[in-house]
Amino acid sequence: MNEKSPQNCPACGKMVNYVSADHIVPASMIMKMPGFACLSKDNQIKTLNTPGNFAPLCPPCNMSKQAKLWHKWKGYKGGGFASGAPIKANQELTNQLLKGLKGQIKGLPWS
Ligand SMILES: [Zn+2]
C-alpha cells in the first residue's frame, strides 16, 4: 500500500514522494479486541488489513503517530495538523472503525 507519486501528507500537509499506510485503529489495539485471538489466521490478517482502516502518512508522521489513535495524536512532534488537511483527528471516524472492526471479528457485516 505504498504510493510512489508525489502527494500531500494528510497530517502535516507536506508534499512528499513517499507515503506509507498507517493503521487508523492501531493493529495492536485490533489484536486485543474480544474474539480476535479466536479468528483463523486468514481472518486475522483480513481484519488487520481492512481497507478503510488505512491512511497514507509521510514516514516522519507515521513514526510520530505510531500506535496512537488519531484523536489522541497531536500531529508530528506535537505540532498539530496542516490547515486543510483532508484527514484530521477524527473521533467519529475512529469510533465507526472501532465498531466495524469489533463487528467484523464477530462475523457481522459493516453497517
Ligand atoms: Zn506528514
Read off the pLDDT of residues 55-64 as tens digits, 9 standing for 90 and up. Answer: 889 999 999 9
In which band, very low, low, confident or very high, does the pLDDT at 7 lie, cut at 50, 70 and 90?
A: confident
Domain that holds residue 55: 7-105
- Claim: this prediction has a pTM higher than 0.95: no
CA of 78 to the centre of ligand 1 (A): 12
| Structure-block grid coordinates of residue 45 | 490478517
1 domain-assigned: no
Instruction: Count structural domains, the chain.
Output: 1
CA of 89 to the centre of ligand 1 (A): 13
111 domain-assigned: no
CA of 93 to the centre of ligand 1 (A): 19
Residue 67 near residue 24, CB atoms below 8 Å: no
CA of 91 to the centre of ligand 1 (A): 19
2 domain-assigned: no
Residue 38: exposed, middle, or buried by beta-carbon count in 10 A (0-12, 13-18, 19+)?
exposed
Question: How far, in Å, CA of 28 to CA of 89, rounded?
Answer: 19
Percent of the chain with pLDDT over 90: 51
Q: How far is CA 25 from CA 17, 51, 84, 108, in A?
A: 24, 12, 22, 18
CA of 43 to the centre of ligand 1 (A): 31
pLDDT tens per residue across span 35-89? 999 999 999 999 999 989 998 899 999 999 988 998 888 899 888 888 777 666 5
